[in-house]
Structure 1
């Protein structure tokens, strides 16, 4: 599998179109971060985390979305014209930019599903996006034919980079993690998390 890699400016942050579903405990971490650094998150709506339902019926807590009109030529017809409320106007993430400002690892506050994308976890190991002809891991039916294979970084790029090179940072970070989500459910205060995550 060869890919182009991540280019948020090129795709307008298409992977963020529906927000992100959170692993258990990630909602508490995000709420604590927003409470501690309100100036950084002043553009968030009051309800920045909501209850959601994926097209296959899976339910969970996720980041809220706001209207956003994608202008990319290959915008998938089954995607919504919305974007995660943590996305910024320059196609970045408020949670990641705060981590960088604080001098901690850039993915310290970022939900697992975000920093791993477009990789998935299969049998405890990281798996690349599927090759053409292989099933999209988020396929539901003809009305929702998938997710990862519909964004540029999840599509085969014959002239691109081998997936394990393109996503070497994600693989290295995953290999250092002994528990997902990274910080949730460990009984650490936000201050302790920030101290441990300093780079």
Structure 2
């Protein structure tokens, strides 16, 4: 599998179009971060975490979305013109930018599904996006033919980089964390999380 890698400016953060479904405990961590740094999240709506239903009928807690008109040439017709409320005007992430301000790892507060994308976890190991001809892991039916293979970083690129090189940072981080989600469900205060994340 060869890919082009992540280019948020080029795709306008297309992977964020539906927000992100959260692992258990990630919603509490995000709420704590937003409460502690309200000035950084001043533009967020009150309901920034909501209940959602994926096209296959799966329910879960996720980040909310706001209307956004994508102007990329290859916008998938089955995607919505919406985007995660944590996305910034330059197609980055408010949770990641706060980590930079605080001097901790950039993915300290970012949901697992976000920093891993377009990789997935299969039987405890990381797996690349599917090759051409392989099924999209998020295929539902003809009305929703998939997700990861419809964003630039998840598409096979013959002239691209081997996936394990393109996403070496994600693989390295995955190999070093001792649990997922990273900081949720540990019983630590946000101050303690920040101190540990600086080490």
Give the equivalent residue in structure 1 for 2:27.
27
1:109 and 1:15 map into 2 onto residues whose CA distance is: 18
Consecutive unaligned residues of structure 1, counting only runs of 5 or more, are none
1:193 and 1:139 map into 2 onto residues whose CA distance is: 36
1:77 aligns with 2:89: no
Give the equivalent residue in structure 2 for 1:68.
68
SS at match of 1:80: coil
SS at match of 2:51: strand
Consecutive unaligned residues of structure 2, counting only runs of 5 or more, are none
Deviation at 1:26, TM superposition (A): 0.1
Give the equivalent residue in structure 1 for 2:100.
100
1:41 aligns with 2:41: yes
1:112 aligns with 2:109: no
Matches within 5 A, 1:111-190: 111-190=111-190
Q: How much is the aligned-residue C-alpha RMSD, in angstroms?
A: 0.5
Deviations 1:138-180 (A, max 9, x none): 0011100000000000001111110000000000000011211
Size of the aligned set, in residue pairs, is 199
Instruction: Using structure 1 for the length normalisation, give the TM-score.
Output: 0.99
> After TM superposition, what 4+ stretches of structure 1 lie above 2 angstroms from structure 2?
none
SS at match of 1:97: helix
SS at match of 1:62: strand
